[in-house]
Amino acid sequence: MFSSSVPVFLLRFLMPLFKTPAVILHTLPYGESDQIVTFYTLDFGKMKGMAKGAKRSRKRFGSRLEIASYVKVTFFEKETSNLVRLSNCDLIRPFEGLREDIRKLAWASYFIELVNEMTAEKIQNKPLFRLLVAFLTFIDRGSLKEEVLRIFEIRFLSCLGYQPQLDPCIHCQKKLTGERFFFSPVKGGVVCSACAPSLPDLIPVSLGTLKTLLLAHTLPLEKVSRISFSPQSLKESRALLSSFLQQYLGKELKSKKFLEQINGNAEFGMRNSE
């Protein structure tokens, strides 16, 4: 409808403007002065937009386009492009703590990359948006305990409709009894000891871990950072959630490797870091 040569300051008067809270997921330099920005919004899910002049002049967007910034974006759609045009970006919360501590940044990057990799564009998911903001806030304030990673993973999967079935047995559908259970990443749920011999690639999981994960999943968001897992539950839930996420991701995330390096070893020995 409008020529692409119409200056941006005029276009914003001609096209409907949308305003929504968003978290910046990714930025990519484009040409000499622009940036392509991927952001997760409250109202429209994941979106991609062009920020004209973002590289050349920091006046208009400044540091607000940094990864994990919590902002309010203003944009309009362009008929000639799949990308929306960002016309403004106001800071809601800077999450300064994330930029001052490389470990916090590593944790935040993991959440951000999970969201970026596992969501499609323009599908509204308000619970997922709120989950991301809540967990970035926990880390920003210093909640660096491994439980926070595991709770994010299980609630994130649930927001996407991939909630693992923790009871009854996913194979025979009988209520779980006894003490020995297994988790099937392929089937996405817990398997009883009677069904276990007939299924491949199972991960042993204790009743304590199942109860902990259920609590992690159902407790109100504002209370989840207070949950403590036993060492055994941490170990089991790490293995279980990692292989389950792998089913959907199909690849190793860069931020996960970085997270493991930052934390010194692949076993996430973070017990002493709280």
**Residues of this chain that bind Zn ion (CB under 5 A):** 169, 171-172, 192, 195
For Zn ion, which is the closer residue by CB, 192 or 210? 192
- Report the Cα 64 to chain-centroid distance in Å: 19
Kindly state the tokens that stand for 265. Answer: 């070893």
C-alpha–C-alpha distance, residues 63 and 85, integer Å: 18
Q: How far is the CB of 165 from Zn ion (least distance, A)?
A: 11
Is the CB of residue 259 less than 8 Å from the CB of residue 110? Answer: yes
Q: How far is the CB of 169 from Zn ion (least distance, A)?
A: 3
C-alpha–C-alpha distance, residues 77 and 70, integer Å: 21
3-state secondary structure of 31: coil
The answer to whether the Cα torsion of 17, 18, 19, 25 is positive or negative is: negative
229: left (phi over 0), alpha (psi -120 to 50) or beta: beta
Q: How far is the CB of 176 from Zn ion (least distance, A)?
A: 8
C-alpha–C-alpha distance, residues 141 and 246, integer Å: 29
Kindly state the tokens that stand for 142. Answer: 């210093």
Q: How far is the CB of 225 from Zn ion (least distance, A)?
A: 34
Q: How far is the CB of 191 from Zn ion (least distance, A)?
A: 6
For Zn ion, which is the closer residue by CB, 17 or 194? 194
List the one residue out of 89, 85, 77 whose CA is nearest residue 21. Answer: 89
For Zn ion, which is the closer residue by CB, 88 or 165? 165
For Zn ion, which is the closer residue by CB, 6 or 194? 194
CA distances from 132 to 23, 44, 47, 56, 140 (A): 8, 15, 15, 30, 12
C-alpha–C-alpha distance, residues 72 and 88, integer Å: 8
Q: How far is the CB of 189 from Zn ion (least distance, A)?
A: 10
Kindly state the tokens that stand for 161. Answer: 């409709």
List the one residue out of 31, 33, 46 whose CA is nearest residue 83. Answer: 46
For Zn ion, which is the closer residue by CB, 169 or 224? 169
Q: How far is the CB of 193 from Zn ion (least distance, A)?
A: 8
Q: How far is the CB of 203 from Zn ion (least distance, A)?
A: 15
For Zn ion, which is the closer residue by CB, 46 or 171? 171
Alpha helices in 15-125 (DSSP H): 96-100, 102-118
For Zn ion, which is the closer residue by CB, 71 or 195? 195
For Zn ion, which is the closer residue by CB, 172 or 207? 172
